[in-house]
Amino acid sequence: MAQKIIQGNETLARQIKSRRNELGLTIEEAASRAGVGTKTWCRYEAGESIRMDKCKGLCKALNWRVLPEQNAGTHDDIFAQEYKTHEAWSSFLENTFGARAAMSFALGSDILLDHINEDLTELASMPAGSHLGQLSVSLLYEGLPKQFLMHYDYDFLYQMKCTLQSMRHRAKYDQSIAAHSVMEELLFYLCNEEAYILIELNSEINIPDEEDVFSEEWVFDLFDDIDIVSYLYSDLYLNSDHPYHFLQWNDQQFYTK
């Protein structure tokens, strides 16, 4: 499926350049913060289009929560109907939690796979044992639990990629979907977070069931708890025997009977 884009325009280009200068950043520094090349950043400031999956990095570089509001029509609308033919569209998620859930997984898993592949490529050129914290830029690192930073190496990312591809395969063939491991819970959670950012950036969203627009909590309904946030995104220190410790992430612990 073609990447969604925000159509470039002179107003947005001026706002990006003005904000960069306000922060005292060179083009090279801003591009590095955003996780893009300097040529790509120059295209942003020239008024060319911006891929939606690059907006998060752009906003991070400029300390913006979202891109400044533009005139109607600036944003490409995201329509759930378009994603029903996506290879990772899950009829199970749609029927159980609504179209928002199915679209979030399809869209979010695309973005997450891009982040994983980018980091795998960079780690492959570094010494064995290198981790995400050593990369110049990693959009994936920002969303992962910080306690286990030293474990996020090439092998971990490869496992993460294979697990996500398996989940997308289950979605494609309309299989019942549940998170059987912490790794799968984490991937569902990250997919939803990535999709939420894109949908938030969109000024007009057309989803069949209006309730779905506000249902970003579907992942916790899927898990039947909020343990992933309570344990992995809090100030708790987890011992090695804790079910949410990194050493247990790939164990089949949930809904196994």
pLDDT (tens digit per residue) in 29-39: 998 888 888 88
Give the mean pLDDT of 17-27: 93
Residue 4 predicted with pLDDT over 70: no
User: Taking CA 33 as the corner, what is the angle to CA 27 and CA 36, rounded to the nearest 5 degrees?
Assistant: 70
Q: What does pTM read for this prediction?
A: 0.73
Q: What is the pLDDT, as a whole number, of residue 227?
A: 95
User: Which band of pLDDT confidence, cut at 50, 70 and 90, is reported for residue 216?
Assistant: low
Residue 184: closest CA among 102, 105, 89? 105
Token representation of residue 58: 């752009």
Task: Quickly tell me which residue has 């290879």 as its tokens.
Answer: 87
Average pLDDT in the chain: 84
Report whether 77 contacts 7 (CB < 8 A).
no
Which residues touch 42 (CB under 8 Å, ≥6 apart)? 27
- For 47-94, the pLDDT digits (tens) are 888 877 788 789 888 988 778 754 434 334 455 666 788 899 999 999
Span 5-76: which CATH code? 1.10.260.40
Q: What is the pLDDT, as a whole number, of residue 213?
A: 43
User: Which band of pLDDT confidence, cut at 50, 70 and 90, is reported for residue 196?
Assistant: confident
- For 156-176, the pLDDT digits (tens) are 999 999 999 999 999 988 888
- For 84-128, the pLDDT digits (tens) are 888 999 999 999 998 889 989 998 999 899 889 989 999 999 999
CATH 1.10.260.40 domain span(s) along the chain: 5-76
Token representation of residue 158: 């490869």
